[in-house]
Each structure stands twice: as structure tokens, then as C-alpha cells.
Amino acid sequence: ASEGGVKEKLFNQAFKVGLEVDRLHREGKPVPFLLARQHALFDKLVFTKIRERFGGRVRFFISGAAALNQEIAEWFHAAGIVILEGYGLTESAAGSFVNHPLDYRFGTVGPVMPGSEVELGENDEILIKGPGIMDGYHNLPEETASALTADGWLRTGDKGSLDPDGYLQITGRIKDLFKTSGGKYIAPSAIESKFKAVCPYASQFLVFGDDRNYVIALITLDPDAMDGWAAENGMSGASYADIVSSGQVQEMVGGYVDRLNGSLNRWETIKKWELLDHDLTVESGELTPSMKVKRNVVEGNHKDRIDALYS
């Protein structure tokens, strides 16, 4: 136990130093001599071993498909493992934006690639134009007209913002946006991604609040992860429904929701939530074959639960 405590302290101190060095590098500031010496020592004792787990020769990773939690990105960067977020669609020949190994900004997908253009349309929809944009969908003229403007801009369906240097941040899906009864627009996908990043047991986290006076969530937990949790917390062999309804799990998930709320605007915070007694499945019709959530189906299937959270 004593040896484990020493290793944990060494590990934590290494990452504290690594995070500070990475921050200074990103800000273009010099690393003080003593801090550089500490970093060199921790790199040899800790970070090199982590990089060796990935083969020891990785220059950088590119992450896409979903938002990368900033804490995760910073953790890997501190260990010298660079993860760069990018963004694109099949209709734009995959990647259209990507951060650069020597010039990256956490929370963004980088600037538009050379030869392409970006602008924000109605409701801050991301529009892309360039040589990688498709000519259209094969034999689907109506869908093509919906996806492309008359002058060749691709409507991505995603909402975003651009910083002064042209770095793009994805803030949600246009079709998923809803407005509370107080007139505030909410991008549920952004909130849902944040929860999944802070809660290692989360399977699905679905936010609702259209024309309501506060935001609620339905939550499911990963059955495999919860089996592991149960084995460590005296509930080995219990059913999924019994595990998620236990006071221990309710309290644990409540802590993660509180942590999420601390990162949200006041009008976005989750006021009430409920853990479902089953995970979403393709068989139930609540997931597509590619494992995407059918939000309207989930909302219909659990209308009584949702209404109860507003009673």
C-alpha cells in the first residue's frame, strides 16, 4: 500500500509538471530552468513508459467523429502524446478542418484546410466550400438541393463558432437545438458529450427541455462497466436494474451530474434526471444500426418519465 501511494504521488506530480510545461509551450513562453529539469526527470520516469504503450514512435493522433474532452486531451499532451481534433463529413471528402501539431487549440477542430472556405450561415450553421465538396447525391436531386446552396456551399447541419484566427468550435447539431420556455437555445449534444467525458460509466445521456422551464436528462449506464463496479462494491451478480436503482449508484451519478453542471451556463444546468433500468438498444428501436440515438423514439418511449420530471 505504501509503495502504491508513492507511485501515485509521483504520477500526480509528473502530470502537474507536464501540464504546466505544455501550457507554456502552447502560449509560446519559455520554460523556466528548474521546471525543465523536473520535466526531463518525469519524462524519463513516467511519460516515456506511457508513450511506449503506444509503440514509442507516435508523432500525433487525429481525433474525430465526436468531441474530445479537453481534460483527456490535456492529459495526453502532458505525457507528450499529441491528439489533434479534426472535423469533416463524407460529403466533404472527410477531413475539412484539423489542428496542426505545432499550432493547436483545445476545444476546437482547427482551421479550415488549405483550398477550402468556411462561413457561418443562419443559426450559425457551418458552411463549407472547396474542391472536396461533393457534386451531389447519386440520383437524389431533392436531397442534393437541400444539402448544397446554389453557389456550392455544403450545409453541414452542425452549429459552430469561429475564433478571430479562424479556429472552428463545434457547438451542436442544428436539428437538435431546442428553446426553453424562457427563450434560451440549448444544444443538447454539447451537454451530452460533456457528461460522457466526465462519467466513465455513462452509456447514454439524453437532454430534454424543449419549451420547458428547465432542462432534464435521461441516463443509461454501460452494463459491462457497471458489472465491474458492482464486483468492487458488494453487488456482484446483481441485475442491471438493481444496480442502477441502488442508493450508491444514484449518489455516484448525482456527483457526476453536479460536476457537469459546474461547467454549464445557468440555463443549461440539469435540474432533474433519471437513470433508466435498461440501456438503449438497436432491438428496442432506440438506436440505429450504427449505434446513433433516435432521440424522438426515446422521447416517445419514455414520455411518462419525462413528464414526471416536470411535475
Q: Is the pLDDT of residue 290 over 80?
A: no
Residue located via cell numbers 486531451: 73
Give the least confident one: 64-68, 122-126, 149-153, 286-290.
Answer: 64-68
154 residue type, one letter: L
- If asked whether residues 221 and 251 sit together in one domain, one would say yes
Residue 158's contacts (CB-CB under 8 Å, 6 or more residues apart) are: 125, 126, 170, 172, 173, 174
Question: How far, in Å, CA of 275 to CA of 267, rounded?
Answer: 22
Give, in order, the Cα–Cα distances in Å from 160 to each of 124, 182, 226: 6, 22, 35
pLDDT digits (tens, 9 = 90+) for 72-99: 888 899 999 999 999 999 999 878 999 9
pLDDT digits (tens, 9 = 90+) for 141-196: 999 999 999 999 999 998 899 999 999 998 888 887 888 998 888 889 889 988 99
Q: Quote the cell numbers at residue 308.
A: 414526471
| Structural domains counted in the chain | 3
Q: Which of 105, 109, 89 is nearest to 97 (CA)?
A: 109
- If asked whether residues 181 and 284 sit together in one domain, one would say yes
Q: What is the pLDDT averaged over residues 125-141?
A: 94
pLDDT of residue 4: 61
89-109 CB burial, b ≥16 within 10 A, e <16? bebbeebbbbbeeeebbeebb
74 lies in some domain: no
Question: How far, in Å, CA of 170 to CA of 120, rounded?
Answer: 11
Question: How far, in Å, CA of 174 to CA of 160, rounded?
Answer: 9
Neighbours of 221 (CB within 10 A): 24
120 lies in some domain: yes
pLDDT digits (tens, 9 = 90+) for 187-234: 898 899 889 989 999 999 999 999 999 999 999 999 999 999 999 999
pLDDT digits (tens, 9 = 90+) for 23-62: 998 888 999 999 999 999 999 999 999 999 999 888 999 9
pLDDT of residue 305: 93
Among the three residues 124, 147, 174, which one is the final residue of a domain in this structure? 174
- If asked whether residues 197 and 281 sit together in one domain, one would say yes
78 lies in some domain: no
pTM of the full structure? 0.66
- If asked whether residues 251 and 290 sit together in one domain, one would say yes
pLDDT band at 6 (very low <50, low <70, confident <90, very high): confident
CATH number at residue 158: 2.30.38.10
φ, ψ (nearest 5 deg) of residue 168: -95, 135
CB 162 within 8 A of CB 118: yes
133 lies in some domain: yes
CB 200 within 8 A of CB 225: yes
Q: What is the pLDDT averaged over residues 275-299?
A: 88
pLDDT band at 1 (very low <50, low <70, confident <90, very high): very low
pLDDT of residue 3: 57
End-to-end CA distance of the chain: 49
Q: Which domain holds residue 302?
A: 177-309
Q: Which of 268, 290, 279, 307 is nearest to 204 (CA)?
A: 279
Q: What is the pLDDT averaged over residues 121-126?
A: 89
